[in-house]
């Protein structure tokens, strides 16, 4: 299967991305795919790992090339990695907003990892659900343990945790929506200073568990989808 065919099949499973997004086929080296590496980002480390195992494709969540390139230089972060992939004959594809929204995708994977029950969409990129009522500090410790990280920011507004809204990655734009959906606690990867103030004003607890950790949980699901079309799939950065 070539990269174009692979992407077409993945789109049939995951659905389309937002119109402004720049995911899908990033680099097509024109070779049939027999082994793939799944990673959150196409980093230099992921490229080295792909070369080590002989993977002809890297499948990521975040696009390597998001904005049009006016030039490709080895000294540039994006250009250097794009050149390295081309030289190694490694194709690159990404599934960004479609994977955020998809059933079983990033936000559903995060809800599952954190033990949030009855999770349902409250915005396309987020989920809202419940846990047994608990104190914020205990909930925060449980989430940190589940994802293997320390919280980047934690705001305890003194209300018990029971109804949780979550947005993987950056949730700064969805604070008001989480409040309006009735959440007492908002879980995300990172927010802006203004968003933290908004949470305080709404009296809504906030827990930021890093952009990486709140999205890296999707890799097993992504690998499962990739494995439908590629015989061998490996992980990088789990």
Give the tens place of pLDDT for each residue, 143-175.
Answer: 999 999 999 999 999 999 999 999 999 999 999
DSSP designation for 68? -
**pLDDT at position 68:** 87
Q: What is the pLDDT of residues 43-98, one digit of tens each?
A: 999 999 999 999 999 999 999 999 888 899 999 999 999 999 999 999 999 999 99
Task: Say which residues have a Cβ less than 8 Å from residue 167's Cβ, sequence separation at least 6.
Answer: 107, 123, 125, 126, 174, 178, 186, 187, 188, 189
The string of DSSP letters for 72-98 reads: --TTSHHHHHHHHHHHHT-EEEE--HH
Res 234: pLDDT: 96
Instruction: Give the mean model confidence (pLDDT) for residues 116-127.
Output: 96
Q: Is residue 238 predicted with pLDDT exceeding 90?
A: no
Domains detected in the chain: 3-100+218-235 (3.40.1390.30), 106-216 (3.40.1390.30)
What pLDDT score was predicted for residue 138?
98
- Digit-coded pLDDT (tens) for 179-215: 999 999 999 999 999 999 999 999 999 999 999 999 9
Cβ–Cβ < 8 Å for 26, 42: yes
């Amino acid at each position: 299967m070539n990269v174009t065919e692979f992407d077409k099949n993945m789109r049939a499973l995951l659905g389309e991305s937002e119109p402004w997004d720049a995911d899908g086929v990033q680099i097509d080296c024109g070779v049939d795919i027999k082994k793939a590496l799944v990673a959150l980002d196409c980093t230099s480390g992921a490229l080295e790992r792909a070369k080590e195992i002989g993977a002809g494709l890297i499948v990521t969540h975040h696009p390597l090339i998001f904005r049009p390139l006016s030039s490709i230089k080895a000294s540039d972060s994006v250009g250097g990695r794009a050149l390295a992939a081309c030289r190694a004959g490694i194709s690159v594809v990404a599934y960004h907003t479609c994977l955020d929204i998809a059933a079983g995708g990033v936000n559903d994977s995060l809800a599952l990892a954190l033990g949030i029950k009855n999770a349902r969409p409250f915005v396309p990129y987020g989920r809202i659900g419940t846990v047994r009522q608990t104190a914020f500090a205990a909930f925060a410790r449980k989430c940190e343990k589940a994802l293997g990280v320390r919280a980047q920011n934690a705001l305890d507004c003194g209300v018990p945790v029971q109804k949780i809204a979550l947005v993987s990655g950056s949730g700064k734009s969805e604070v008001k929506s989480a409040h309006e959906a009735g959440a007492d606690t908002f879980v995300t990867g990172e927010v802006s200073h203004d968003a933290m103030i908004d949470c305080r004003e709404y009296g809504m607890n906030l827990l930021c568990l890093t952009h990486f950790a709140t999205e890296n949980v999707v890799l097993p699901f992504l690998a499962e989808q990739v494995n439908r079309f590629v015989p061998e799939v490996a992980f990088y950065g789990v």
